[in-house]
């Protein structure tokens, strides 16, 4: 994607911009992100999807649609799963 973002006012600048953030960027590179992806805004899409109740079973599907929209809008692509023992 050719969008150039000014991250100077975005919260993700605290973990991705400047020489003092090289340690954080090293983790992103280790995750397979490119310099271009690291320069994009980081947008979190959170889902409470689970199989414990019918109303929650489609939440992950909806979150995936949101994530695709973030990527199409120029946000960085990443996915994290958090599992809890309930």
Q: Report the pLDDT averaged over residues 50-74.
A: 90
* pTM value > 0.85: no
Q: With cut-offs at 50, 70 and 90, classify the pLDDT of residue 83.
A: low
pLDDT (tens digit per residue) in 29-46? 999 999 999 999 999 888
Q: Token digits for 31?
A: 């995750």
pLDDT of residue 79: 74
Nearest residue to 42 (alpha-carbon basis) of 73, 84, 85, 81: 73
Does residue 43 contact residue 70 with C-beta atoms inside 8 Å? Answer: yes
Compute the distance between CA of residue 52 and CA of residue 84 in angstroms, rounded to an integer. Answer: 12
Compute the distance between CA of residue 3 and CA of residue 43 in angstroms, rounded to an integer. Answer: 15
82 falls within a domain: no
- Above 90 in pLDDT, residue 4? no
For residue 47, the enclosing domain spans: 7-72
How many structural domains are present in the chain?
1
**Residue 19 — φ and ψ, nearest 5°?**
-65, -30
Does residue 5 contact residue 35 with C-beta atoms inside 8 Å? Answer: no
Measured over all CA atoms, what is the biggest interatomic distance in the chain, rounded to whole angstroms? Answer: 48
């Amino acid at each position: 994607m050719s969008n150039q973002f000014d991250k100077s006012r975005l919260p993700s600048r605290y973990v991705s911009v400047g020489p003092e953030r090289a340690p954080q960027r090293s983790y992103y590179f280790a995750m397979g992100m490119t310099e271009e992806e690291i320069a994009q805004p980081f947008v979190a899409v959170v889902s409470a999807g689970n199989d414990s109740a019918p109303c929650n079973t489609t939440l992950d599907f909806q979150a995936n649609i949101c994530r695709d929209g973030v990527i199409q809008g120029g946000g960085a692509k990443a996915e994290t799963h958090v599992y809890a023992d309930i």
